[in-house]
């Protein structure tokens, strides 16, 4: 599932942190703590590099259930793009769209928690049957 934005994990530190700040999700009070941000920089950069360099492995499709989650105002992925995860498995696909942006899951809102548990219980029941 290709991203719409160019990769930025390899940018210079200040440019990388500027893009991270633009994504939101990190309070400005934290972003202003330069020493703190430099401490987290390797982990942040690795996370984005992993996402930007992901390529599916060759071979057969998965056979397990897949659940996809997004926020209805997520600038990184639309519901239509999320639906593409349906192509990775022959198992059932569930798509859930929540109120929010890219960080809709902050604090694990009750609807998301309920849906995660429901999906896991359903998948376990189907596996055991």
Q: What is the pLDDT of residue 56?
A: 82
70 pLDDT higher than 90? yes
Confidence of residue 2 (pLDDT cuts 50, 70, 90): low
Asked whether the whole model's pTM tops 0.75, one would answer: yes
DSSP for 25-40, written as a single string: -S-HHHHT-HHHHHHH
Which helix (H) or strand (E) segment holds residue 81: the answer is: helix 79-82
Residue pLDDT, tens place only, 77-122: 889 999 999 999 999 999 999 999 888 888 888 999 999 999 999 8
């Amino acid at each position: 599932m290709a991203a719409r934005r160019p990769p930025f994990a390899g940018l210079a530190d200040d440019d990388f942190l500027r893009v991270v700040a633009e994504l939101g999700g990190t309070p400005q009070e934290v972003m202003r703590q330069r020493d703190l941000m430099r401490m987290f920089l390797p982990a942040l950069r690795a996370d984005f590099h992993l996402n930007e360099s992901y390529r599916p492995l060759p071979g057969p499709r998965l056979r397990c259930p897949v659940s996809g989650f997004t926020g209805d105002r997520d600038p990184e992925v639309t519901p239509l793009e999320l639906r593409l995860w349906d192509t990775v498995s022959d198992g059932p696909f569930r798509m859930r769209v929540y109120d929010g942006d890219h960080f809709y899951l902050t604090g694990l809102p009750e609807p998301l928690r309920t849906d995660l548990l429901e999906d896991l219980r359903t998948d376990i029941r189907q596996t055991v049957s």
